Structure 1
Amino acid sequence: MDERDEGLRARLVAVGVDLVAREGVQALSLREIARRAGVSHGAPRRYFPTHAALLSAIARQGFAGLAQEAAAAVAAGDAAAGTDGGAADGAAAGPRARILALGRVYLGYAAANRGMFELMFRHDLLENAVAGEAPGLRETSLPLFRVLVDLIARVPNRPGTGSPETVAGALWANLHGIAQLWAWGSLQLASGTDDADPLLRAALDAYLGPERP
């Protein structure tokens, strides 16, 4: 693929990212993406053999953005640890504080990017990998899960006997449920709050045990 083709491919993806942010997943037709990119409606097929392949490339940009925010949250925790002299048990430096920060990033990203968040977790796209191109979304999303697993493994005195992978899976499912129900407005109505942070903290208490002073 020459430089001109790479540029057009990138433009199609960028148009899709902007379109899903402005109008939601339902707007991501091949024809509309092509129209806004200023190319014929058949042009996307030169670079993406299926509609799902193009949507997968768009969703990968969402995971890249979420990963960047997650990395910044972990780095902020590392910086706090350095400021505290590297004390492993310091509240700001501990793995639980990093998990709390990651949870806030996850919920914040879901709230600020509703269309992209919906697209990112479509099962057909998670399974999609185009031969000869970048790995499918499953390979893009799993590193984020591994960050959570590694942090959970470092939490001292966790209750129960579940492995870090099991606890991470359960906590992720809980966070995703909070994000989705919050987007629908259901949790605000049921819990009588406009602040998701207490729900996040309750989830951490359930899976990691109560926070110790």
Structure 2
Amino acid sequence: MDDENAMKPVASARAALLAAAVDELTEHGHAGISLRAVARRAGLSHAAPKYHFDDRAGLLTAVATQGFRDLAAALGAVDAPDPEARLAALGAAYIDFGVAHPALFDLMFRAVELDADDAALREAQHSAIGVLAAAAGRMGGSEQMSPSTLTVMAWALVHGLVVLARDGSLRDPGAGEDPVDVPVLAHSIAATFSRLAAR
């Protein structure tokens, strides 16, 4: 019991640092994150981030890992038994996550900032992308398109839509001067892809 109580402050400090890092990321982007700023925001000593994460890459890797876990949870919550509808719903959930967390989403796929060999990160990545891959695989592919090719195309499509939406570049040419509901447009494109892939 004493050991468990002793571990609580350590876990609490680590959680506080991760939360502070996410706040710094949201406000300043990945390039603006420093260990000292994160420690200061968390109300901990300047040495705390190094103790828990070794270095800046270790901290950012932990943040990205949690991001992939959260993405996996969002995708795992999709409930649509029909393969076509499921792929479209997963695409929408992926887009919604990326649009809602633009700085985190950017970091999650910025390999140069992360420890690519980190086991927890790799597991979280496979868990999240695996949900989308499994749904694309259930479409069965065709003579012209294997399940693996369909998976990459589906992922590339929704990921690209997130980036375009995040950067303010996603436009509906038919909308003229009318405001565009970016998530709705992105969902429509993802759903159209799912219908075409089912043929």
Q: Structure 2 CA distance, aligned partners of 1:24 and 1:112?
A: 14
Given candidates 128, 147, 150, the residue that maps to 2:131 is: 147
Tell me what 1:21 maps to: 26
Tell me what 2:145 maps to: 162
By relative contact order (CA 8 Å, sep 6+), the higher-ranking structure is 2
Tell me what 2:8 maps to: 3
Given candidates 97, 114, 123, the residue that maps to 1:109 is: 97
Tell me what 1:186 maps to: 169
Conservation of the 8 A alpha-carbon contact between 2:91 and 2:158: yes
- Shift of the 155–189 alpha-carbon distance from structure 1 to 2, 3 Å rule, reads closer
Tell me what 2:3 maps to: none
Deviations 1:4-53 (A, max 9, x none): 22221121112112332344333321111010111222221111112111
Q: Structure 1 CA distance, aligned partners of 2:174 and 2:117?
A: 37
Q: Structure 1 CA distance, aligned partners of 2:72 and 2:111?
A: 19
- Shift of the 187–62 alpha-carbon distance from structure 1 to 2, 3 Å rule, reads same
Given candidates 35, 39, 42, the residue that maps to 1:37 is: 42
Conservation of the 8 A alpha-carbon contact between 2:95 and 2:187: no
Tell me what 1:122 maps to: 110
Q: Structure 2 CA distance, aligned partners of 1:108 and 1:141?
A: 18
- The answer on 1:201 being equivalent to 2:191 is yes
Task: Give matches, 1:130-141, under 5 Å.
Answer: 135-141=119-125
Deviations 1:101-153 (A, max 9, x none): 11001111111111111111111326142xxxxx2422211122222222223
Structure 1 gap ranges (5+): 78-92, 130-134
Give the % identical residues.
34
- The answer on 1:177 being equivalent to 2:166 is no
Q: Structure 2 CA distance, aligned partners of 1:29 and 1:128?
A: 22
Higher mean C-alpha displacement, 183-192 vs 26-35? 183-192
- The answer on 1:50 being equivalent to 2:38 is no
The amino acid across from 2:123 in the alignment is: E
Q: Structure 1 CA distance, aligned partners of 2:195 and 2:71?
A: 24
Q: Structure 2 CA distance, aligned partners of 1:155 and 1:198?
A: 19
Conservation of the 8 A alpha-carbon contact between 1:150 and 1:164: no
Structure 2 gap ranges (5+): 1-5
- The answer on 1:60 being equivalent to 2:54 is no
The amino acid across from 1:111 in the alignment is: V
Q: What is the root-mean-square deviation in Å for CA atoms of aligned residues?
A: 2.2
Deviations 1:47-77 (A, max 9, x none): 111211101111122112111111111xx32
Q: Structure 2 CA distance, aligned partners of 1:100 and 1:209?
A: 11
Q: Structure 1 CA distance, aligned partners of 2:84 and 2:168?
A: 28
